Structure 1
Amino acid sequence: MNKSNLELVRECDSFPYYEDNRAVYTENLKKYHAFRVNGYDDTLGYILNSVVEKWPWPKEHWVIDSAAQTVTLTTPADATPEYRSQVVAESIAAAVKVDAFEVLRGWRNEKYPVYGPGGEFLLDMERYGAHMTCYVEDATGLKFWIPRRSKNKQTYPSMLDNTVAGGMCTNEKPFECIVREGVEEASLPESISRATIVARGCVTYSHIRDARAGGEIGLSQPEVEYVYDMKLDPSLIPLPGDNEVEEFNLLTVEEVREALARGEFKPNCAVVIIDFFIRHGLLTAENEPDFLDILSRLHRRLPYPLASH
């Protein structure tokens, strides 16, 4: 059965909304512990209860309050980001060593920033991302360069992706991230990328990982994805630059729509494609009955401290 555009957006933005159903939202929160850092009142994310129970928490740096359902990093309130990051890295390494979680078996130890109130940099751990859609345009209309993920990828193997996508490292700007990923993933010349890429805003969502993601199910994954477009000359053909992509195919608008409806796209990549369709007038209030719902769900207000890049 084909999936609607709204169903695809809901698949990605799957963490319940308090405003929609307070009972469902409250029941869902019971599955998680709130992650906090000593000296700050903000919740920085949610950790699945089963993960909290299995994690080998070093007691000198972590306090688990089962009644309040919180996990607190107890480094000094004036600790440096470098020190907090070191403690978190050591805690993750301990879990990797005992093979406590399937999701950590492919751990790449990449450094992503966590922010506190006012965009204060607290430590390295989480991620922002950048996604780019590359397309060509001729007399027959738009066509999209769509990669198929490697069948050996730990996450979402063999699913369809955006042309270029990746996580932003600490101190990396979104534009620099997408240029770098363009070279690494699609063999796009840096000079052409810098002259051609256009920033198109962001999509935001709060995802609950399912079986397709690989590893533990139910992990909470709130994300900000910076969105870029790149119109390519037909002579420039993206080619896999690493082992993350099997191949690139040039698909028509209708072929992309059909692949979306079949559920072939990685959930957040489907959202980025739908965002492109809206921005380019391919998806409108006239041809999409759920237009307003889709539009609002593409820009979820995340209840965590954020930083503007």
Structure 2
Amino acid sequence: MQGFDPFMSNFCDLANQYLTTLPIFKSQGLLRLAINEREAGWLEPDTARVLTQLNPAFEMSESRVTLRAKPDTIEAQMSAAALHLREVGLIKVWRNECYAVHPQNAHGEPDLTCSLFKLERGAFRRFGLTSQAAHINGICTDGTLWIARRSSTKGIDPNRLDNLAAGGIPYNESPFDCAIRELAEEAGLSDFTKSQLQLTGQVHTRRNEIDGTHDEILHCYDLTLSPNVQPVNQDGEVAEFLKLSPLEAAQRLSEMTWDAGLVTANYLLRQKPHIS
């Protein structure tokens, strides 16, 4: 990763340096996606043309594409559009899982209090819609961190390092319940109290990807574990778990997915350097 020096000695300095390397979202060349009058996502011009050719309800102007539809037909029309994008090869990973679609507020931030409809998870990047995910830092009481390596079969970011557990939040699940489920599925952990799993904040990440716009709210948790606890993957999504000191974790931030690296760096910045 350009500009990242893993040989710096202070893990807080490394975390700060890593944050400066995170990709910056650029809207140039993209069109705004609106559902009636509510902005909801971002589209590449090729995707916009496919949508307007598919369904005249998608109206394209110079800077946006607007789906004009009755509220009770929006979900069906967007789902049909997603299926068509899959058929023409613009959506390559299909999850058979739905996320809630949130509109943007006046400041361009997602309004998580309002859900317009639900849509196939695999379509979110291509439509530039805001998704949500839960990420859990696995923190041992001796100061070490559990870091997962994603399976080579993952559709996105195979073999990259990740948090102890992480996953997208379906439309009918709360962030906390998602965190509990992902810990059981990805790390085989369920024997802990709610007081051990603490929400530490939310981070909004947005970046340009080859398959569209990644726009996601990360709900960040710390799970405190005793040093003798060993995570064991249950769903085939994790290849291995690494137990790292804060300095070792900071030195390997560039091996992580962008989201996991962001969550880990933010955790490291909440710590004191003397524990490395």
TM-score by length of 1: 0.73
> 3-state SS of the aligned residue for 2:231?
coil
| 1:107-137 deviation per Cα after TM superposition (whole angstroms, max 9, x unaligned) | 1032111223563221123411110101112
Q: SS of 1:31's equivalent?
A: coil
* Structure 1 partner of 2:166: 165
Choose from 79, 95, 101 the match for 1:108: 95
- 1:75 aligns with 69
Distance in 2 between the 1:29 and 1:112 partners?
23
In structure 2, the residue matched to 1:145 is: 146
Aligned-partner Cα distance in 1 for 2:53–2:178: 32
Q: Structure 1 residue 10: deviation in Å? A: 4.2
- Provide the rounded CA distance (Å) in 2 between the counterparts of 1:55 and 1:135: 46
SS in structure 1 of the partner of residue 47 of structure 2: helix
* 8 Å Cα contact 1:5/1:274 also seen in 2: yes
**Corresponding residue for residue 264 of structure 1:** 255
CA distance 1:57–1:164, change in 2 (3 Å): farther
% identical aligned pairs: 24
Q: Which moved more, 1:155-164 or 1:121-130?
A: 121-130
Give ranges in structure 2 of 5+ residues lacking alignment. 5-13, 106-110, 120-129
Bigger proportion of residues as strand: 2
Letter in 1 for 2:258: P
Q: Tell me how far 1:153 sits from its aligned partner.
A: 1.4
- Conserved 8 A contact 1:162-1:273: yes
The answer on 1:247 being equivalent to 2:240 is yes
Q: Which amino acid aligns with 2:97?
A: E
Measured in 2, the distance between the counterparts of 1:152 and 1:54 equals 30
1:213 maps to what in 2?
none
1:9 to 2, 15, 19: 19
Task: Determine helix, strand or coil for the equivalent of 2:236.
Answer: coil
- 138, 144, 150: which one aligns with 1:134: 138
Question: In the alignment, residue 259 of structure 2 is paired with which amino acid?
Answer: N
Counterpart of 1:155? 156
* Residue aligned with 1:270, SS: helix
Q: 1-side partners of 2:218 and 2:140: how far apart?
A: 23
Distance 2:114 2:193 in 1: 31
In 1, are the aligned partners of 2:250 and 2:265 still within 8 Å (CA)?
no
Which amino acid counterpart does residue 196 of structure 1 have in structure 2? Answer: Q
Match of 1:36 in 2: 34
For residue 121 of structure 1, give the secondary structure of its aligned residue in structure 2. Answer: coil
Q: Confirm or deny that 1:277 pairs with 2:268.
A: yes
Summarize the Cα distance change of 1:91–1:193 in structure 2 as closer, same or farther, 3 Å threshold.
farther
The residue number in structure 1 matching 2:49 is 53
Q: Is the 8 A contact 1:128 1:224 kept in 2?
A: yes
Instruction: Report the Cα offset of residue 97 of structure 1.
Output: 2.2
SS of 2:92's partner is helix
Residue matched to 2:221:
228
SS at match of 2:79: helix
Contact 1:113 1:127 in 2 (8 A): yes
Whether the aligned pair in 1 keeps the contact of 2:101 and 2:116 (CA below 8 Å) is yes
Give 3-state SS (helix, strand or coil) of 1:86's partner.
helix
Q: Does 2:195 match 1:199?
A: no
Instruction: Give the corresponding residue for 2:78.
Output: 88
Structure 1 contact 128–168 (Cα < 8 Å) conserved: yes
Could you report, residue by residue, the CA deviation over 1:130-161 in whole angstroms, capped at 9, with x for unpaired residues? 101011123xxx11110111112121111100
In 2, Cα distance between equivalents of 1:124 and 1:282: 43
C-alpha contact (below 8 Å) 2:198/2:222 kept by paired residues: yes
Contact 1:145 1:251 survives alignment (8 Å): yes
- Unmatched runs of 5 consecutive residues or more in structure 1: 16-27, 210-215, 284-309
Q: Residue type of the partner of 2:150?
A: R
Alignment check: 8 A CA contact 2:205 2:217 kept? yes
